[in-house]
A and B are shown apart, each in its own frame.
Chain A
């Protein structure tokens, strides 16, 4: 399935000083895939759009940190 979160496994040396992070992640935001925005794409309702920061569903890609508590209504 498509995701904007990508992973790779860096080389781990037997002599590394710290416990290794075996999987590294990075973000490829939706703007990497669209090119010139085509017409008639699906939209959020206006009030929702003002909260989310975009009118367009394809560009909505929220980011959550590892230390924050997810609240009700938060997506993803």
Chain B
């Protein structure tokens, strides 16, 4: 069960009307290394992972949903008042024809989301290494979006999300260390 808090994890500000940025951001919405893929991956893998790291997958999977909500807010703000003409200029004409200004789970190139983006192999080390790779890929994607954007307010939010990817990758690495740990070995902190 979840409890919903009706606020964003980090405030989303957008300073310029630039629907083109929405086209890039949608990669983190419905792309292979996006927040939706991340949330679904972790919240599904957690059933068949050793008890010690289930909570980590639950926590991070939940946080990814909060990130998804931030990305959605960014995309919505960038497109809600754009005219069809502006959307056309931004390369979103095909999106407009199918969806108006609604959000949809596809990547920056318009390819719809698919469950084949994620895996659950059932082998704990294998799954955690996929999760580490997913976080690093998302970190890199945020860098490429920041490289394409001149909006300092938007980039501020993206920087926060990128920092969270670094932390998540760190925690997944620690989960691997926990699973590698030899039983009954005494550890002192």
Interface flag for B46 (CB, 8 Å): no
Which residues between 107 and 158 of chain B lie within 8 Å of chain A, taking CB atoms? 136, 139-140, 142-143, 146-152, 155
CB distance from B142 to the nearest CB of A (A): 7
Q: Which residue of B lies closest to A55 (CB)?
A: B167
B residues at A contact (CB < 8 Å): 10, 136, 139-140, 142-143, 146-152, 155, 159-164, 166-167, 169-170, 173-174, 177, 189
User: Which A29-75 residues have a C-beta within 8 angstroms of B?
Assistant: 29-31, 34-37, 39, 50-54, 59-71
- A68 and B155 contact, Cβ closer than 8 Å, known pairs A35-B173, A36-B177, A37-B170: yes
- Tell me, rounded to whole Å, the shortest Cβ–Cβ distance linking B133 to chain A: 13
Contact between chains at A65 and B147 (CB < 8 Å): yes
Chain A binding site: helix, strand, loop or mixed by DSSP?
loop
In the complex, A53 Cα to B147 Cα: how many Å? Answer: 20
A37–B163 Cα gap in the complex (Å)? 16
Residues of chain B within 8 A (CB-CB) of A54 are: 163-164, 166-167
